[in-house]
Amino acid sequence: MIRSGKKIRGLALVGLVPFLVWACDSTGPKGPMGPGNLAITLLSPNGPEGSAVLEITGGADLSFVSTTGGEVFFEHSAGSSRVIVVMDDPGEINFRVGTEDVGVIPSVDVVQVAGGEDQLRLSLSGYEVLIEGEKDASSSGQRE
């Protein structure tokens, strides 16, 4: 009888494994979801920059919100958006994008960058883009 008790526990553990794998599925929630903002920052190997052109692909119903210390211009086309950020004074290039779902992160490519003297950078090597999601405080619950 002791043997059958171990067998039942073993079967219970075997039955539990698929559930645990399902619960930890890679398609599950990883962070905030729902409406909010994405903060997009250009990380420059050259220090303060004067302007940048970025191409955004994907995302969930993007709308451009603001930047600090400059202006943002944008144009939407089939599945992508071209964004131009012009700084008042050379500095960190960043802007916020409103989105219907901060869990859907778009792809952002650096197209062109100009330094503080408005001279185009000859190389885009070393540039990176940081994207951080921030859920809208007024929305509650999670997407199902």
What pLDDT, on a 0 to 100 scale, did the predictor assign at position 18?
52
What pLDDT, on a 0 to 100 scale, did the predictor assign at position 139?
46
Confidence at 137, pLDDT banded by 50, 70, 90: low
Please work out, in degrees rounded to the nearest 5, the angle formed at the alpha carbon of residue 30 by the alpha carbons of 29 and 32. 85
Which residue has 């503080």 as its token pair?
Answer: 116
Which residue has 């171990």 as its token pair?
Answer: 6
pLDDT tens-digit readout, 94-129: 999 888 888 889 999 999 999 999 999 999 999 999
Assigned domain for 45 exists: yes
Assigned domain for 129 exists: yes
The span from the CA of 139 to the CA of 34, in Å, is 7
Confidence at 41, pLDDT banded by 50, 70, 90: very high
CATH at residue 66: 2.60.40
Q: How many domains does the chain have?
A: 1
Mean pLDDT of 124-144: 73
The span from the CA of 72 to the CA of 70, in Å, is 7
What pTM was computed for the model? Answer: 0.70
Query: Which carries the bigger pLDDT value, residue 19 or residue 96?
Result: 96
Domain housing 96: 36-135
**Residues near 118 by Cβ (< 8 Å), separated by ≥ 6?**
50, 51
Assigned domain for 22 exists: no
Token representation of residue 59: 């995302």
Indicate the length of the chain as a whole number: 144
The span from the CA of 129 to the CA of 107, in Å, is 9
Assigned domain for 51 exists: yes
Whole-number average pLDDT of the chain: 80
